[in-house]
């Protein structure tokens, strides 16, 4: 998305605008969330993932990946954790949840909706983070003993985000219907 001669190859197209808009929304949520105190490192609602799931449902995995990656990158720069352990964990978590989104999403849109996608993504996110925390930062069994708590958090927050994503997606769909 370079700003130069307005030829077709380099000028932002519709998808670029979409990605930028959704990424900005996700980054705002990400930063708002970072401002809230967390009961435990690694436990936070992950409401920014609502954006990822909604974008995935509406525009597919490519756009969702752009939005998620931009969120992690820009969010970490704004919060000040770029290239820190937090950044590595968040990037790995985002990658893992995108992969799982793609897999679970391909099972059939009418079978698995936003809640299932969000739950699966939350678990992938958590599993990737625990793995990175254990293998890279603190190779001590005590980290693994946190797994049940973190998984419980993933279950609760994944379901909540999923319900939010499902209703947002529903509202957007009905909005589409009226627009046409």
Partner 1 sequence: MRLVRPGDMVVFVLAAGLVGASYAYFWGPRAEGDTAVISVGHRPVAEISLLEDATVPVEGLIGDSVLQVEGGRIRFIDSPCPGRYCIHMGWIDRTGEVAACLPNGVVVEIRGGHREFDAINL
Binding residues for partner 1 (CB under 8 A):
104, 107-108, 110-116, 119-120, 123, 141-142, 144-145, 147-148, 151-152, 154-155, 158-159, 162-163, 166-167, 169-170, 173
| Closer of 34 and 160 to partner 1 (Cβ) | 160
Cβ of residue 88: shortest distance to partner 1, in angstroms? 23
Cβ of residue 83: shortest distance to partner 1, in angstroms? 28
Cβ of residue 2: shortest distance to partner 1, in angstroms? 39
| Closer of 19 and 101 to partner 1 (Cβ) | 101
* Tally of CB atoms within 10 A around 109: 10
Report CA torsion sign: 41, 44, 50, 53.
positive
Cβ of residue 144: shortest distance to partner 1, in angstroms? 6
Residues with Cβ within 8 Å of 49's Cβ and at least 6 positions away in sequence, in order, are: 97, 118, 121, 122, 125, 161, 165
Using left for φ > 0, alpha for ψ between -120 and 50, and beta otherwise, residue 112 falls in: beta
């Amino acid at each position: 998305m370079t700003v130069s001669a307005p030829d077709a190859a380099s000028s932002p197209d519709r998808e670029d605008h979409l990605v930028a808009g959704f990424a900005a929304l996700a980054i705002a949520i990400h930063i708002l969330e970072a401002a809230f105190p967390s009961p435990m490192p690694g436990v936070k609602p992950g409401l920014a993932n609502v954006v990822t799931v909604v974008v995935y449902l509406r525009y597919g995995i490519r756009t969702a990946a752009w939005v998620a990656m931009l969120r992690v990158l820009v969010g970490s720069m704004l919060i000040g954790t770029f290239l820190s352990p937090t950044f590595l964990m968040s990037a790995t978590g985002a990658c893992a949840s995108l992969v799982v989104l793609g897999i679970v999403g391909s099972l059939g849109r009418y079978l698995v909706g936003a809640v299932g996608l969000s739950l699966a993504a939350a678990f992938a996110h958590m599993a990737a983070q625990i793995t990175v925390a254990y293998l890279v930062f603190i190779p001590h069994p005590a980290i693994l003993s946190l797994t049940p708590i973190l998984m419980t958090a993933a279950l609760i927050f994944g379901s909540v985000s999923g319900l939010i994503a499902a209703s947002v997606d529903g509202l957007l769909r009905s909005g589409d219907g009226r627009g046409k």
